[in-house]
Structure 1
Amino acid sequence: MAFSKKARNRSNTDRGRLFERLVDQACLFYRNGGVAMIEKTPEPFRVVEKYDAGFFKGRFTGHAQPDYKGTLKGGRAIAFEAKMTGTDRIKKSVVTDFQTACMNYHYHMGAYVGVVCMIKNTVAFVPWSDWLRMKELFGRQYILEKELLRYQVPTPGFVDFLRQSEGGAGDAG
């Protein structure tokens, strides 16, 4: 039975929300454990019109920054994007030019930087240096699920992006 485009979009939206909640749970886990204070970066917008029941009409007022930013125990900054897809690949272009510029700046300032991503059922933290060298490493501007395995992280009820799996890539900055 084929899904309609509307059903497929709904499914992708639901999976995206679940993925974001798993990343948020990791941030809470790290904060409660004294490991890091990492927060989701709010989208830059302003309310244009308010409606009943908490609904409103809004307008974006600027470019989106990296999805999450914070500080690791010991003082090192962290910044990362969170991206997921139900397809067999994730394109480098899912990180916008503005986000790339921000991430580059954080990276060059010494922050721990990368992309937490999920392709189908594989969840990983790709170090920023490898994300930037995607063409050199994989011969193209996207990464496949089988290639993401080298960066895979555990998912014990949350995305444990600060802990690389056995054979993982290690430091992201």
Structure 2
Amino acid sequence: MAKISKYNHEGYKDLTPYEALKRVKDPRRQIQGAQAKVVGQYFEEMIDAACRYYEDQQIAVIEKTPEPMRPIKSLGGGKFVAHYEKQAQPDYKGTLANGRAIVFEAKHTSADKIEQSRLTEEQCERLQKYSELGAIAFILVSVDLQNFYRVPWTVWRDMKEIYGHKHMTIEELEPFKIKATGGIIRFLEGVEK
């Protein structure tokens, strides 16, 4: 019986149909991923615009927390290969005009609920520590980039006890709804004084 080679006549590995199928990327997932990235960037731009507005009004200085990455190889032209040194911190940190610290995580969803598990353990630990020291800590939730909610950290942390499940529905988010006017999410309305 002739031996079957695992390599084709050009010397490349000859994949089984199953191996070949595993390498094919699901176009639906690629599209969903690309859409999520665009929505996330737009949400971040809206938050950044609000941060500039609050700074211009001398209400607060709030900045995006840089990702804790460490470059490991230069690719030239300002590009590099990097890895995360530790889990991400909350997205934004700053100080109100009265000196009080503010820290929050931003999360977007297009679903009819948002899961508590969307925050990493590190983000939860940091929000808890800031909250214990008296900072204003919350999760800024966007639903379809049309409705926005400022969920206090303690409500997010205790949602299982409060709502009986580890997610919040649109109805449960409603008491935390905030305005967005002129392209600016008014996430400090009511807490800036």
What corresponds to 1:72 in structure 2?
A: 96
The structural deviation recorded for 1:6 is: 1.4
**Structure 2 gap ranges (5+):** 1-26
What corresponds to 1:18 in structure 2?
A: 42
What corresponds to 1:123 in structure 2?
A: 148
What is the TM-score when the length of structure 1 is the normalising length? Answer: 0.88
What is the TM-score when the length of structure 2 is the normalising length? Answer: 0.80
Aligned partner of 1:84 among 86, 108, 116: 108
The letter of the residue matching 1:55 is: K
The letter of the residue matching 1:144 is: T
- Over residues 77-108 of structure 1, what are the superposed CA-to-partner deviations in whole Å (9 max), with x where a residue is unaligned? 00110111122211111111111111111001
Aligned partner of 1:135 among 160, 163, 175: 160
Identity of aligned residues (%): 34
Q: How many pairs does the alignment contain? A: 163
**Structure 2 counterparts to residues 1-173 of structure 1, below 5 A:** 4-120=28-144, 121-156=146-181, 157-163=183-189
- Over residues 107-127 of structure 1, what are the superposed CA-to-partner deviations in whole Å (9 max), with x where a residue is unaligned? 010001100011233211101
The two structures, once aligned, show a CA RMSD in angstroms of: 1.5
What corresponds to 2:10 in structure 1?
A: none
User: Counterparts of 1:133 and 1:46 in 2: how far apart (Å)?
Assistant: 34
What corresponds to 1:168 in structure 2?
A: none
User: Counterparts of 1:57 and 1:90 in 2: how far apart (Å)?
Assistant: 32
The structural deviation recorded for 1:149 is: 1.8
User: Counterparts of 1:145 and 1:19 in 2: how far apart (Å)?
Assistant: 18
Which is worse superposed, 36-45 or 114-123? 114-123
User: Counterparts of 1:16 and 1:154 in 2: how far apart (Å)?
Assistant: 19
**Structure 1 gap ranges (5+):** 165-170
- Over residues 40-63 of structure 1, what are the superposed CA-to-partner deviations in whole Å (9 max), with x where a residue is unaligned? 111111111222432211111112
Q: Is the 8 A contact 2:91 2:104 kept in 1?
A: yes
| Structure having the higher Rg | 2
